[in-house]
C-alpha cells in the first residue's frame, strides 16, 4: 500500500492550517507527524484516512500498483484516536466481536488472545462506559494495532496511559507494526521513537 499526497492543503474558513504538502507514505515504513498542539496533526491524519477532504490538492492510494477507490480505503486501514469513540453500551467482548465483523485479526491472534494482550480479562463482560480512560485507550489501541490491515494510523496513542501502559503500547507496536504503513501523530517522543521518518507541519505553513 502506498498513499501519495500531492500539493495538499486544508483550511478552515479563511485560515490555512497547512499548504503545499507533497509526500509519499509507503508500506513497511513508519512516519511521525509532528507539531505543536493545534498545528493540524489530527487534521492531516484524517485526510490520510479519507474521513476529511483536502481544500486543495489530491490524495491517492495504491495497492500493488493499482489505484484504490476512496470508498474501499476503509478496508485497508485502522485508526485509533482520541476523537473516535467506542460504543460504550457494549461490553469489551461485544466491542471486539463488532469490530472484527468488518476487519480480520492479525495472524496468530484471536479474541481470547486479544483480551489477554489488553490485560483486561477480568473486565471482558463489563460495559465500556464503566471503563477508566486508560482502559478505553488500551482497548482502542488493541483493536487498531491487532487488526490485519496494511495501514495503521495512530493519533496521540498514549493519551490517558500511565508509565506501565506506555511500555505496553511500545511492545504492542514492536510486535504488530512490522510490514505496515504506520503513521503516528504526536509531540511526545515516546509515542513515535520507532518512526524512521518525520514530517514537521511547521514546514507547511
Name all domains of the chain by residue range, CATH numbers in brackets: 2-204 (3.40.50.300)
pLDDT for residue 197: 97
Closest CA relative to residue 124, chosen from 90, 92, 86, 87: 92
Burial class for 80, CB neighbours closer than 10 Å (0-12, 13-18, 19+): buried
**Burial 4-32, CB ≥16 within 10 A → b, else e:** ebeebbbeeeeebbbbebebebebeebbb
pLDDT for residue 74: 87
End-to-end Cα spacing for the chain: 28
Q: What is the pLDDT along the chain (205 residues), one digit of tens a residue?
A: 999 999 999 999 889 999 999 999 999 999 999 999 889 999 999 999 999 999 999 999 999 889 998 778 889 999 999 999 999 999 999 999 999 999 999 999 999 999 999 999 999 999 999 999 999 999 999 999 999 999 999 999 999 999 999 999 999 999 999 999 999 999 999 999 999 999 999 999 8
CB 31 within 8 A of CB 154: no
- Residues forming a β-bridge with 4: 24, 60
Closest CA relative to residue 185, chosen from 84, 45, 7: 45
pLDDT for residue 168: 97
Q: 110 is written with which cell numbers?
A: 484471536
Number of alpha carbons in the 13 Å side-chain half-sphere of residue 87: 12
145 phi and psi angles, rounded to 5 deg: -75, -30
Specify the pTM: 0.95
Amino acid at each position: 500500500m502506498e498513499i501519495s499526497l500531492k500539493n495538499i492543503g486544508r483550511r478552515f474558513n479563511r485560515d490555512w492550517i497547512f499548504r503545499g504538502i507533497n509526500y509519499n507514505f509507503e508500506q513497511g515504513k513508519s512516519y511521525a507527524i509532528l507539531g505543536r498542539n493545534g498545528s493540524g496533526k489530527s487534521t492531516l491524519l484524517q485526510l490520510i484516512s479519507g474521513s476529511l477532504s483536502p481544500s486543495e490538492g489530491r490524495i491517492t492510494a495504491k495497492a500493488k500498483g493499482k489505484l484504490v477507490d476512496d470508498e474501499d480505503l476503509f478496508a485497508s486501514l485502522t485508526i485509533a484516536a482520541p476523537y473516535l469513540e467506542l460504543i460504550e453500551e457494549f461490553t469489551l467482548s461485544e466491542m471486539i466481536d463488532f469490530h472484527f465483523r468488518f476487519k480480520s485479526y492479525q495472524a496468530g491472534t484471536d479474541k481470547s488472545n486479544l483480551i489477554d494482550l489488553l490485560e483486561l480479562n477480568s473486565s471482558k463482560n463489563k460495559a465500556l462506559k464503566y471503563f477508566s480512560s486508560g482502559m478505553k485507550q488500551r482497548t482502542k489501541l488493541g483493536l487498531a494495532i491487532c487488526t490485519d490491515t496494511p495501514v495503521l494510523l495512530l493519533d496521540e496513542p498514549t493519551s490517558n496511559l500511565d508509565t506501565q501502559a506506555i511500555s505496553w503500547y511500545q511492545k504492542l507496536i514492536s510486535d504488530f507494526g512490522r510490514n505496515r504503513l504506520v503513521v503516528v501523530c504526536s509531540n511526545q517522543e515516546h509515542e513515535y521513537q520507532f518512526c524512521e521518518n518525520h514530517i514537521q507541519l511547521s514546514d507547511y505553513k
